[in-house]
Structure 1
């Protein structure tokens, strides 16, 4: 593990971020999460049986605990629908497989900003003082199909490690994202990074693998409206994909055929979901992880 503070003013080599990063500082912790049998890309630790038995990971917020706004409308499971996984931008996403505290879990993640960068939720990478291991990204996962990518570096903001033990809240969610580097470049493309990319009353599409719908075997999508933006966090609703497994799934907006990831699923309940608003720190952390956390 490495905890450090770096000043970055550089160009990313990937076309996703072509302008220089402004001088700034970001505190983070970074580690190698390979775990058991890293070399076994086609199987290794994550056999079909392990994937089937892994627990959909998530943070469900009960009303009154996290400060979610009052329910805005009735919800049904059909408010979320299967995403067309072979189409952009859904094909940029997939299922995240990882071990945390000795337990195997699944969550959601996607390629963002660079062909070798995957983003998910920080609570799917670091929790209760534990770093996740055995991390793999199963791009395009659908009922067992997809492409398995190995992860060789993962980082979360140091602020996340300081608040990760707190109950889910909007304030906590602003630090709830992880940045991971794959050993091979994406073969399907990526989301662009949307810094402060959505605002109150904007509609966003939210993706993920909710365990309560089809057992988490397929990516789902929902449309939510941003109800609150406070600091560097959002609250949007409704959230029919609640209940675990969708953690880390992208919130995205599309304009001029460009798909920008503006947040990831942090925690939620049927009527609302929290997520971070990406900032320059996010872009800086992506650059750091792409370069191996030197």
Structure 2
């Protein structure tokens, strides 16, 4: 069902209550990740065994533009990414995202951004195939089993994302590929500031995440990439040695005057490049809406 500004609908699934809404210029879909009884849902769903068996989520760019940027990048090695110092800012703002979608358990990456109760990840993690994720937990500071588990009571994606979620990964689709979640307990470690249109062509960004192909996704990694294209509200940055499942939703950030600003998240990637959305005022508005419980 297509939802417009003139039509509000309530969709009920086995895993979540999803309410497409509109607030001013921002159209979005918001739901309770554990259904209508989220406050009473089992807190022990994510056992060590479930976490170990979860599927690293990710999307692969089928063909990168043949513009010369990727020429000679076939020799990129995993050593071009390195383990992030998870106890230091801003890396400690991030962690693994755990969730169930379509009957399968997944892991991806996410982080606290803009508010002590707000976590941002990738939209393709939480909404795909007309299915919303449930059992969402954020394992802040995850490092080979350590970290702090945060629970979510609200999750949202842009309505535009639901319209393109099942398309093949592309730069255009990546514009809408972020999700906003609300934790039931505030961050004890801090947060990224939100960087609206915070990076541009030729800027270097640090990209973080938990790539499954490096140490089985047990540790956060970081890489440096240069933005080579900004098209609409999406970025193409190169290279991307963390390619593969698990790093989806990890922050792209820039630092100035000791202020760490998240400017994007990992949307889809290949060995020599990665796409991500450029955060906009819509992002800030969606954060405020989710913070207030999607009224």
TM-score normalised per structure 2: 0.90
Which SS does the other structure have where 2:21 is aligned? strand
State the 1:55 CA deviation.
0.5
Shift in CA distance, 119/282, structure 1 to aligned 2, threshold 3 Å: same
The 8 Å contact of residues 38 and 153 in structure 2, kept in 1 or not, is answered as no
Q: What does residue 4 of structure 1 align with?
A: 21
Please name the residue that 1:231 is paired with.
232
Deviation track 1:42-76 (CA, whole Å, cap 9, x = no partner) reads x6100000000001000011225xx4754143301
1: distance between equivalents of 2:250 and 2:40? 26
Residue 46 (structure 1) aligns with: 46
* 2:32–2:38 contact (8 Å) kept in structure 1: no
Q: How many angstroms does 1:37 deviate by?
A: 8.2
What's the Cα RMSD here?
Answer: 1.5
**Helix, strand or coil: the match of 1:247?**
coil
SS in 1 for 2:63: coil
Structure 1: which 5+ runs fail to align?
8-24
TM-score (structure 1 length as normaliser): 0.90
Report if the CA contact (8 A) 1:99-1:105 is conserved. Answer: yes
Tell me: CA distance 1:178–1:240, structure 2 relative to 1, closer, same or farther (3 Å).
same
Q: In 2, distance between residues paired with 1:52 and 1:263?
A: 27
1:193-219 CA distance string (max 9 Å, x none): 000000000000000000010000000
State the shift of 1:174 in Å.
0.2
Residue pair 1:206, 1:224 contacting (<8 A) in 2 also: yes
Q: Which residue of the partner structure matches residue 175 of structure 1?
A: 176
User: How far does residue 172 in structure 1 lie from its aligned partner after superposition?
Assistant: 0.1
Q: Which runs of 4+ in 1 moved over 2 A?
A: 34-41, 67-70
Determine if the alignment matches structure 1 residue 130 to structure 2 residue 131. Answer: yes
| Count of matched residue pairs | 274
**Any gaps of 5 or more consecutive residues in structure 2?**
1-17
